[in-house]
Chains A and B, each alone.
Chain A
Amino acid sequence: MNAELWAAAVTALWTGVITSMSPCPLATNIAALTYISKHSGAGRLVVLSHGGLYALGRALAYIFIGFLLVKSLLSAPSFSFFMQKYGNQAISPVLVLAGMYMLDMFGRGFEGLNLFDLSKFKAKGGAISSLLMGVVFALAFCPISAALYFGVIIPLAAKNSAPFSLPLLYGLGTALPVMGTAVVLDFGLKKVSAVTGLADGFEKYAKPATAWTFIACGVYLGLKYIFGII
């Protein structure tokens, strides 16, 4: 790997981090953080695994879009503005419904909407849910993610003939702050639990807290992007 490609790789990763640190994706970042942290009561590396899968989900979405752009199957301006306009609108009801599902508002036996908590995969810790969440949240383009992805990453990938690695690094970068915070929180919670023995208390409140965070984020996105109130 030459120096130019190394520089491009660092740029892609750092651009992802900048994207994630901006105010625009805050709602989806909070939702992702609470969802990943929800697993804090489980084994040692569970939070890290869910964070990794979330990052992989985001990266896969960016790689897929990059592939479509490179193959000229999509017009970048049309697609970018379409996703910026409708991506967050589509996510709003999904988040509210997911939160309601976590609160068992559709009844305990309800299996029709377990996008975020696939019972079939519970043995694997609901791994696919974090991956899916990453894909879905990446597709909800904010102005900054659209500007940096389409304006910096795609041209950089084209220039360096790296249509997979640079979008992959960008996707990982966008998930890094959430993943890092989740791991730090997990570490802190485990320390606190070890001292105070409050682990059971955390597990008891983690699920409803995650559910209400999803609902709050969904309502916020709806008020902002669908109704234009905020």
Chain B
Amino acid sequence: MQKNLSDNSGRTSQAVKFALMAFVAVSIAAAAYKIAGAPREVPSTVTAAQAAPPQQEPVKSVTPPAVRAPAPSAKSRKTEKTAAVYYFYTNTRCSSCKTIEAYTREAVEKNFASDYKGWKVVFKGVNIEEESDKHFVQDYWLNAKSVVVQKFSGGKPLKWGKLEKVWQLLGDKEAFINYVTEETHKLLDEK
């Protein structure tokens, strides 16, 4: 009887061992497959000029497709003032990231439901792992999931600002929403 118990325990331990080894092997294979299948993303060696963060200036001479103003006529489109409050995320979501997205969306929907001094403000979530949106990483010098406010005039990008404190204010919803609102106001008030 004792021998049977010992045999069973030995078999279970062997089964656990092989299951864990299988998990490790499949994990490594899956990770390698994903890396091989992904476009090259190895940290690049850069020159000093490239490594310096960009100044807060217009980032692109073209309007990012995500915030193209829905103008009815060419004339009004030329003068329409818009601002996009971007939330940039990746395929891997986390609870803090979802909170940032929800709070930012709420700040925009609650405090910019109507135009602010002629500026039409919209919230836009952008997955920077999508091929078409990868340029945002370099445009705004993104290091992580981030909130960026970008002004446009008739589709032409103007000033922008990265809201660095969102990660520090995560625990205080009211302060977070006030921060997003105030920073957006500040940027829109700037000439």
Decide whether A and B are members of one complex. yes
Chain A residues 148-178 with CB under 8 Å of chain B are 148, 150-152
Asked if A147 and B146 make an inter-chain contact with CB atoms under 8 angstroms apart, the answer reads yes
Contact of A146 among B23, B30, B144, B168 (CB under 8 A): B144
A143 and B46 form a contact (CB under 8 A): no
Stretch with Cβ within 8 A of B (4 or more), from A15-23, A42-50, A181-189, A190-198: A15-23
Q: Which of A18, A77, A85, A92 contacts B90 (CB 8 A)?
A: A85
Determine whether the beta carbon of B167 is less than 8 Å from that of A77: no
Which of B13, B21, B46 is A74 in contact with, Cβ under 8 Å?
Answer: B46
- Please choose the segment from B77-85, B135-143, B183-191 that sits at the chain A interface, where 4 or more of its residues have CB less than 8 A away: B135-143
A148-B167 CB under 8 A given contacts A85-B41, A215-B20: yes
Would A23 and B95 be within 8 Å (CB), given that A77-B141, A150-B143, A151-B167 are in contact?
Answer: yes
Are B43 and A228 in touch, CB under 8 angstroms? Answer: no
CA distance A100 to B18 in the complex (A): 11
Query: Is the CB–CB distance between B142 and A227 below 8 Å?
Result: no
Is A206 in contact with chain B by the CB < 8 A criterion? no
In the complex, which residue of chain A has the Cβ closest to the Cβ of B50? A75
Using a CB-CB cutoff of 8 Å, which residues 13-31 of chain A contact chain B?
A: 15, 18, 22-24
Q: Which of the four size classes fits the interface of chain B? A: 35 or more
List the count of A-B residue pairs having beta carbons below 8 Å apart. 130
- Contact between B24 and A147, CB atoms less than 8 A apart: no
Which residues of the other chain, B, contact A77 by a CB distance below 8 angstroms?
137-138, 141-143
A85/B92 contact (C-beta < 8 A), A222-B23, A226-B27 known: yes
**Is B177 part of the binding interface, using a Cβ–Cβ cutoff of 8 Å?**
no
* Contact yes or no, A69 B143, CB < 8 A: no
Among candidates A76, A93, A228, residue contacting B143 with C-beta atoms closer than 8 Å:
A76
The reply to whether the CB of B51 lies closer than 8 angstroms to some CB of chain A is: yes
A72 engages B164 (CB within 8 Å): no
B177 to chain A, nearest CB (A): 18
Whether A96 pairs with B23 at a CB distance below 8 angstroms is yes
Does B6 make an interface contact (CB < 8 A)?
A: no
Is A222 touching B43 in the complex (CB atoms < 8 A)? no
> A82 at the A/B interface (Cβ < 8 Å)?
yes
Q: Contact at B46–A72, with CB atoms within 8 Å?
A: yes
Contact of A23 with B96 in the complex, beta carbons under 8 Å: yes
Q: Is B44 an interface residue (CB 8 A)?
A: yes
Checking B31, B46, B143, B170 against A80 with a beta-carbon cut-off of 8 angstroms, the contacting residue is: B143
On whether the beta carbons of A78 and B48 are closer than 8 Å, the reply is no
Let me know if A225 and B96 touch, CB within 8 A: no
Nearest CB on B from A49, distance (A): 31
- Residues of chain A touching chain B, judged by Cβ–Cβ distance below 8 Å, are 15, 18, 22-24, 69, 72-82, 84-86, 89-90, 92-93, 96-97, 99-100, 105, 142-144, 146-148, 150-152, 215, 219, 222, 224-228
25 A-B residue pairs with Cβ-Cβ distance under 8 Å, sorted by A, are A22-B170, A72-B48, A73-B45, A76-B53, A76-B143, A77-B137, A77-B143, A78-B41, A81-B41, A82-B41, A82-B42, A84-B92, A85-B90, A89-B34, A92-B27, A93-B27, A96-B23, A96-B24, A99-B20, A105-B20, A143-B97, A147-B144, A148-B167, A148-B168, A150-B144
Besides the contacts A75-B43, A100-B17, A226-B31, what 10 more A-B pairs have beta carbons closer than 8 Å? A23-B96, A72-B46, A75-B44, A75-B50, A82-B43, A84-B92, A143-B145, A144-B144, A148-B167, A150-B143
